[in-house]
């Protein structure tokens, strides 16, 4: 469900997916305009509540002046402060009016974050209050240059998340944000993040960009994009730097544990671990923060290219092997295969690459299985089953040829040129899961259509398949002839 989008704002266009570095208006370590020049930053995010506390309600002072930045800016409302401290001393309508006053490109209502430790009763209350505030904000709004974000709440109660998304999606908002993932992300509970995001995505309008609050570590961005998230915010680049933590695309290291800088960014290419450690604290923090942003924006660019190439799925499979919790999350994502398949392109400009057992649940494989259920074979008395790996050919006359193509399963000869049945790369050594899944497809086909044939001939590649294909042919055992083939055929 990953996508590349273009958003037009009052201060310029931007592409998604993208990262919004979090800017503390009272403590700017890296200036937004420097970020744009060095990292290609397209959008930054700051906190309207904190801005109001530090700068007051000056009607002549806009957020672009405060941050000294002429590019697109998004403002959060103070919801994170509510999650962390329990409350803030500003009414929600005042936060809306203040954002209208300082005129960011994208503003956010003051929602009530659910959090991950909430009871069901409290979670339902956060959804109710957030929706009430969202409706109120629609009536208050008056600045045509500001687009608005309606947050989704519900926490770990996915039915509440679904309800929140459906109801918020009915209101006049241009963006939506999925709330309450920060604690889950901090605890590496990525599988629960998948359930949270998918509950929201399945119920939100598809044409509205979705922001995943607090998701800014590069190791999980590709999975989040695959789920359909478009915007991410990160304070981690500076928070980690202040703690001496060094981001990589696969995880986090600590400066004290490093002997070398395993990165090609301008910071790491021009210095060493020892030199960074010798720097004064402020300069050390800046160097680490710059590195952290380089790594994160580099990951965003790789994700965009993977989408453009039609290879996001393979990229996510690679990235999710960086940590067991990410692999668990990816496996949870696969459980939503029927929904994901609806949005996956039917054809792509690149071949299908099998890259592990998770590939058997890819949209292309699921789509083929669905199509085969609707397939009607030709009226021929003989069925020839051939375990094809692309390079093997067999010519038959007066018989129906059915190829066995891992991981797709049964492929009738007349359909073998349909994408991706002849545009795929699969290891010649079958792993157990791929072999089992493929053999099950043959068994299902024969249960449905085996009765129409008078004779069934199986060319069995015993070296690869053993007796698996023979056993799968049990629905037609009384008319089955098995021929062992060799590598030379």
Q: What are the residues whose beta carbons fall under 8 Å from the beta carbon of 237, sequence distance 6 or more?
A: 21, 216, 247, 289, 292, 293, 296
Shared domain check, 129 and 46 = yes
Examine the fold and report which residue of 311, 337, 363 is the final residue of a domain before the chain moves on. 337
Degrees to nearest 5, angle at CA 181 with 178 and 186: 155
Examine the fold and report which residue of 337, 368, 400 is the final residue of a domain before the chain moves on. 337
Structural domains of the chain, count: 2
Going by pLDDT thresholds of 50, 70 and 90, the confidence category of residue 340 is: very high
Q: What is the mean pLDDT of residues 234-255?
A: 94
Q: How far apart are CA 333 and CA 290, in angstroms?
A: 32
The CATH number of the domain holding residue 63 is 3.20.20.105
- The answer to the question of residue 463 being in a domain is yes
Q: What are the residues whose beta carbons fall under 8 Å from the beta carbon of 336, sequence distance 6 or more?
A: 194, 198
Share of the chain above pLDDT 90, in %: 79
Name the strand (E) or helix (H) holding 6.
Answer: strand 5-9
Cβ atoms within 10 Å of 484's Cβ, excluding its own = 11
Q: Which residue, 84, 53, 46, 83, is CA-closest to 67? A: 46
- The answer to the question of residue 239 being in a domain is yes
Range of the domain at 378: 354-484
- The answer to the question of residue 342 being in a domain is no
Examine the fold and report which residue of 309, 337, 365 is the final residue of a domain before the chain moves on. 337
pLDDT above 80: residue 315:
yes
Q: pLDDT tens digits, residue range 359-406? A: 999 999 999 999 999 999 999 999 999 987 545 566 677 899 999 999
Which positions are catalytic?
A: 76
- The answer to the question of residue 347 being in a domain is no
Q: How far apart are CA 389 and CA 64, in angstroms?
A: 59
Shared domain check, 273 and 315 = yes
pLDDT above 70: residue 486:
no
Calculate the average pLDDT of the chain. Answer: 92
Q: What are the residues whose beta carbons fall under 8 Å from the beta carbon of 194, sequence distance 6 or more?
A: 223, 227, 329, 332, 333, 336
Shared domain check, 309 and 403 = no
pLDDT above 90: residue 180:
no
- The answer to the question of residue 348 being in a domain is no
Q: How far apart are CA 85 and CA 390, in angstroms?
A: 61
Shared domain check, 275 and 127 = yes
pLDDT above 50: residue 488:
no
Shared domain check, 426 and 366 = yes
């Amino acid at each position: 469900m990953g996508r590349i989008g273009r958003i037009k704002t009052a201060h310029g266009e931007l592409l998604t997916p993208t990262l919004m570095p979090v800017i503390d208006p009272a403590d700017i370590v890296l200036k937004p305009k420097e970020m744009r020049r060095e990292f290609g930053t397209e959008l930054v995010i700051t906190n309207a509540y904190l801005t109001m506390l530090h700068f007051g309600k000056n009607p002549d002072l806009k957020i672009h002046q405060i941050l000294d930045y002429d590019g697109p800016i998004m403002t959060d409302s103070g919801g994170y402060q509510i999650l962390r401290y329990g409350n803030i001393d500003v009414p929600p309508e005042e936060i809306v009016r203040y954002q209208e006053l300082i005129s960011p490109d994208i503003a956010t209502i003051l929602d009530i974050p659910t959090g991950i430790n909430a009871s069901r009763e409290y979670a339902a209350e956060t959804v109710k209050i957030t929706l009430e505030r969202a409706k109120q904000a629609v009536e208050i709004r008056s600045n045509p240059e500001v687009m608005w974000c309606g947050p989704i709440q519900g926490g770990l109660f996915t039915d509440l998340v679904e309800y929140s998304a459906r109801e918020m999606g009915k209101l006049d908002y241009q963006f939506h944000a999925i709330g309450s993932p920060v604690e889950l992300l901090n605890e590496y509970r990525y599988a629960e993040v998948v359930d949270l995001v998918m509950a929201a995505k399945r119920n939100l309008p598809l044409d509205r960009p979705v922001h995943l609050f607090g998701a800014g570590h590069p190791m999980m961005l590709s999975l989040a994009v695959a789920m359909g998230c478009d915007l991410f915010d990160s304070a981690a680049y500076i928070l980690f730097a202040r703690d001496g933590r060094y981001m990589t695309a696969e995880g986090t290291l600590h400066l004290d544990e490093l002997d070398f800088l395993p990165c090609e960014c301008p910071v790491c290419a021009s210095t060493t671990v020892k030199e960074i450690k010798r720097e004064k604290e402020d300069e050390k923090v800046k160097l680490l923060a710059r590195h952290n942003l380089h790594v994160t924006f580099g990951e965003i660019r790789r994700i965009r290219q993977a989408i453009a190439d039609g290879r996001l799925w393979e990229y996510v499979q690679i990235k999710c092997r960086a940590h067991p919790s990410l692999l668990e999350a990816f496996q949870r994502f696969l459980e939503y295969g029927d929904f994901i398949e609806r949005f996956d392109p039917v054809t792509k400009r690149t071949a299908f690459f099998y890259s592990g057992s998770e590939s058997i649940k890819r949209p292309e494989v699921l789509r083929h299985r669905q199509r085969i259920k609707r397939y009607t074979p030709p009226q021929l008395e003989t069925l020839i089953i051939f375990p094809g790996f692309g390079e093997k050919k067999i010519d038959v006359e007066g018989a129906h040829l059915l190829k066995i193509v891992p991981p797709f399963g049964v492929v009738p000869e007349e359909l073998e040129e349909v994408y991706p049945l002849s545009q795929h790369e699969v290891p010649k050594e079958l792993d157990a899961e791929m072999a089992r899944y493929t053999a099950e497809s043959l068994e299902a086909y024969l249960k449905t259509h085996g009765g129409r044939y008078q004779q069934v001939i199986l060319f069995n590649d015993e070296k690869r398949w053993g007796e698996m294909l023979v056993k799968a042919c049990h629905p037609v055992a009384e008319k089955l002839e098995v021929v062992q083939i060799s590598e030379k055929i």
